[in-house]
Amino acid sequence: MLKEETSDASGGGGSGNNWARVCDTCRSAACTVYCQADSAYLCAGCDARVHAANRVASRHERVWVCEACERAPAAFLCKADAASLCTTCDAEIHSANPLARRHQRVPILPISGCLYGPSATELRGRKMASAAETEDGFMDPEGDETIAEDEDEAASWLLLNPGKNSTNQRNGCLFGGEVDDYLDIVEYNSSVENHITDQYNQQQQHYSVPNKSYGGDSVVPIQSGEAKDHLQQQQHQQQTLQFGLDYESSKAAYSYNGSVSHSVSLSSVDVGIVPESTMSDISISHRRPPKGTIDLFSGPSIQMPTQLTPMDREARVLRYREKKKTRKFEKTIRYASRKAYAETRPRIKGRFAKRTDVEVEVDQMFSTTLMTETGYGIVPSF
DNA sequence: CGTGACTCGCGGGCCACATTCTAGC
DNA sequence: CCGCTAGAATGTGGCCCGCGAGTCA
């Protein structure tokens, strides 16, 4: 019904055009809230009317629309700017300069009922209780069997990330899939801090944002230019990478300045190409943890929860389903320069073959040209 | 209904080498 | 502590081949 034009609801509507999104119901007024259950953008009037219609509708969770682009659900509240921002705008605005990066932001909690009624804290409990209801929009249409399957699968791998979940739990809110997903990305940047926070600062009340010690932004994933276009690929990648993070190696990863922008002009860019320098920074912490540190895969760092409350399990399953919806299976290119080289290498039956001296010379010429045209950091071999 | 032969599609392995990273000095 | 160097590890794309699933007699 109202699901048309909402496919970009997951924060992708950031800076497409400057026009505010119109209400999906009346099609006349600018939307002010996004209803997660209906997947619809509504103006204040329609929101009040639709969600006051009955008790079920009144429990629909809504989030404010981004104040910057007015086209996507807000995911973060910037305290410094006193503005609600979607993930895209948040990333753009707060990666603009070092000062902006230090803005403290907190995830926006969904609201339900009357927008000026009960507090979000009260409503959170309701969401937990009603999460299994079909009108929450998360119910799997495939039926109970699939759900049980999902839950089993979810339980099998979601448990690998206890710290993150505990953070959300501490926050007292099960975020919508979009926000939660974003936090998973963010967690690449902030996992270290959150990990420590989880261990040593159980009293912290809200999702940890400040990150002064590393000079980077713990909330906004650094993205610019091409990298922003491949945010989703990075999501997947970073979700994977975060499991391999450890404190020492992540410190190195935090040293990047976030202003890297590479242009990729290869013909086969239909896969997610991650800016090389950024990814190399990431790879610092991923590929080979320095000796003397503990890899999460081999060490005892992951503390598997011995027992899950039904609420915990439900929350994890919901998060898993949301992630499952947004999974990206496209191959992610971590090093565009290596891709460029691989594409130019001679092959015999698909295998790389040794190059002749002539080919080496040609390749050197190509490398020089490519470097000047694309900005890749390709160093010709001598 | 069970079994063997055949086809089809998927996924892993292989290759060379530039790049990246670590250890040692 | 910093810089340099040597060596090891990593990642990249296209093709081949094995294996499982599906179909048919």
Summarised one tens digit per residue, pLDDT across range A240-252 is 333 333 333 333 3
Q: Which residue is nearest to nucleotide C16 (CA to C1')?
A: A349
Within 8 A by CB and 6+ apart from A129, the residues are none
Cβ atoms of A33 and A112 closer than 8 Å = no
A357 CB contact with strand B at below 7 Å = no
pLDDT, position A277: 40
On strand C, nucleotides with any atom < 7 Å from a protein CB are: 9-16
pLDDT band for position A337 (cuts 50, 70, 90): confident
Residue with tokens 């049980």: A148
Strand order in A83-85's β-sheet? A83-85, A76-78, A105-107
Distance A148 CA to B1 C1' (A): 33
Nearest DNA or RNA nucleotide to A283 (CA to C1'): B20
Q: Hey, which bits of chain A come out as E strands?
A: 33-35, 40-42, 62-64, 76-78, 83-85, 105-107, 272-273, 332-333, 347-348, 351-352
Residue with tokens 């410190």: A251
pLDDT, position A309: 76
Q: Where are the alpha helices (DSSP H) in A293-356?
A: 310-325, 336-344
Q: What is the pLDDT of residues A12-59, one digit of tens each?
A: 333 334 456 777 777 777 777 777 777 778 777 777 777 766 666 667
What distance in Å separates the CA atoms of residue A373 and residue A77, rounded to the nearest whole number? 40
pLDDT, position A161: 39
What distance in Å separates the CA atoms of residue A288 and residue A283, rounded to the nearest whole number? 8
Cβ atoms of A226 and A273 closer than 8 Å = yes
Distance A344 CA to C5 C1' (A): 29
Stretch A197-210: mean pLDDT, rounded? 34
Distance A351 CA to B7 C1' (A): 27
What distance in Å separates the CA atoms of residue A373 and residue A355, rounded to the nearest whole number? 24
Name residue A139's amino acid. M
pLDDT band for position A103 (cuts 50, 70, 90): low
Centre a 10 Å sphere on the Cβ of residue A278 and count the other Cβ atoms it contains.
Answer: 22
Distance A147 CA to C23 C1' (A): 32
**Burial tier of A10 (Cβ tally within 10 Å: 0-12, 13-18, 19+):** buried
Centre a 10 Å sphere on the Cβ of residue A153 and count the other Cβ atoms it contains.
Answer: 14
Query: What's the Rg (C-alpha) of chain A?
Result: 23
What distance in Å separates the CA atoms of residue A57 and residue A73, rounded to the nearest whole number? 19
Q: Where are the alpha helices (DSSP H) in A84-202?
A: 87-94, 98-101, 120-130, 144-158, 162-170, 177-200
What residue segments make up the domains of chain A, in order of their start? Answer: 33-107
- Judged against a pLDDT cut of 50, whether residue A360 lies above it is answered with yes
Q: What is the pLDDT of residues A268-322, one digit of tens each?
A: 334 445 444 443 333 333 333 333 333 333 333 334 445 667 777 778 777 767 7
Which residue in A38, A51, A2, A43 sits closest to A21, CA to CA?
Answer: A43
Cβ atoms of A150 and A142 closer than 8 Å = no
Tokens representing A282 are 């990431």
Beta bridge partners of A107: A76
On strand B, nucleotides with any atom < 7 Å from a protein CB are: 13-23
